[in-house]
Amino acid sequence: MEYIKSAFSSIKQNKGRTFLTMLGIFIGISSVITILSIGNGMKVFVNSSLDEISSGGVTINLDPKKTDRYLEPEDLERIKDAVPEMQGITLTISSSGTYNDGKDDRQLGITGGTADISHEETKGMHAGRFFRDDEAEAGTAVCVISQQDALLLFRTDDVVDKTFTVDIGSKSVDLMIVGVAKSSDEDIESAKEAIKKKEEAYYYCSIYVPYALLTGRFGLAGDKITSFKIYTNPGMADETALKVKSVTENMLELRGEGAVQIQSFASIAGAYTSILDVVTLVVALIAAISLVVGGIGVMNIMTVTVTERTREIGIRKSLGARTSYILIQFLTESAIITLIGGMIGMLMGFLFTKIAENFMSFPPAISPMNVLMVVAISIADGLFFGIYPARRAAKMDPIEALRQE
């Protein structure tokens, strides 16, 4: 406690100089806090966005570079029977088409699947239903659309039993809407805003149709299956996917060849998170250079302080002050300067983070671990750069020190 009192007493005597010394520290700390908070917020935003669109599905692919084998539609039932813990399994096929709303040709993304593709819509149905197994197998001309896309295409989400014409290539089909999937409040507001501004034609909308409709009526390739999607219970994606992979390998006699691959949103999210972590760390380290500069400033000022207090050090040592006492006294003073600078920098970092939040589409996330890290770095900075002047003070010869004017 005596060391701390002595340190604060010295700091008070040189307020202006101490503040200027702290500048580099709190600029560095505030920069690091702001960058880490934005990086953490971006990571949370990316993960939540991927979770929202992932539906918990896992895609199983056959690598064409490692095998020319493929599955047939009936094989999926065998896989489903072999892995009963699956919530669903579906073939998927993608295409694009157009719908003329009377003024514009609207571009549509069309996803074909079996009835189990209903698991894609994790928010449930707003109205109507998903197409049934019999409709999926027969290739019935039905579809499911989201609330957002119903608003963008028809300016209303009350569209169950509505029929509209879609052109796919040179062919057309009259599709009846049997269900409207729920959209988030943000997506619904976005659609309403687009309608208000008459910008709905610029949006790309999507629909689900039976897999057999695209492969049968429109002749899209679909007999040779090299990719399918499974849906699992929460927390069981990896375990279930590995079982499906094993069953598929055995079915096609591909065990040990690495031809069956698993692709999940969890792995994609992990890759994005790793990239964001590296980018955040690199930028934070660049910002942390100012901490080194600030630390050098602390070392310089403490060296000047030691020179100015040479006679005081001589008197203390001649009165019996130990070398360790002098060393700890100056190290404490140095650490307190950087700690105060760090605390000011932390508060400035919180302020900058709040300001930055107004210009971003996601809220920055301040981690308690980052706060603790800042406190530790501040103290460590002061101790490291305070070693040289503190040792210089501690090793002074009291007789030589007393001769100084």
Q: In this predicted model, what pLDDT tens digit does every residue of 326-377 receive, in sequence order?
A: 888 888 888 888 888 888 888 888 888 888 888 877 788 878 887 888 778 8
**Do 393 and 279 share a structural domain?**
yes
Q: Is residue 269 part of a domain?
A: no
Q: Is residue 180 part of a domain?
A: yes
Query: How far, in Å, CA of 241 to CA of 247, rounded?
Result: 10
Longest dimension (CA), the chain: 104
Global model pTM greater than 0.85? no
**Do 330 and 228 share a structural domain?**
no
Q: Is residue 165 part of a domain?
A: yes
> Is residue 313's pLDDT more than 80?
no
Segment 230-251, tens digit of pLDDT: 888 777 777 888 888 888 888 8
Q: Which of 200, 230, 264 is the last residue of a domain?
A: 264
Confidence (pLDDT) at 6 = 67
Q: Which of 235, 264, 293 is the last residue of a domain?
A: 264
| pLDDT grade for 102, boundaries at 50, 70 and 90 | confident
Q: Which domain holds residue 192?
A: 57-264
**Do 184 and 330 share a structural domain?**
no
The strand order across the sheet containing 260-264 reads 88-90, 227-231, 57-62, 260-264
Q: Is residue 65 part of a domain?
A: yes
C-alpha closest to that of 206 among 58, 104, 94, 59 = 94
Q: Which of 243, 264, 285 is the last residue of a domain?
A: 264
Query: How far, in Å, CA of 136 to CA of 211, rounded?
Result: 6
Segment 110-125, tens digit of pLDDT: 999 889 988 888 788 9
H/E stretch holding 106: strand 105-113
Q: What total of structural domains would you count in the chain?
A: 2
**Do 137 and 33 share a structural domain?**
no
Question: Looking up tokens 């939040």, which residue turns up?
Answer: 357
C-alpha closest to that of 114 among 88, 94, 95, 96 = 88
Region 213-242: mean pLDDT is: 79
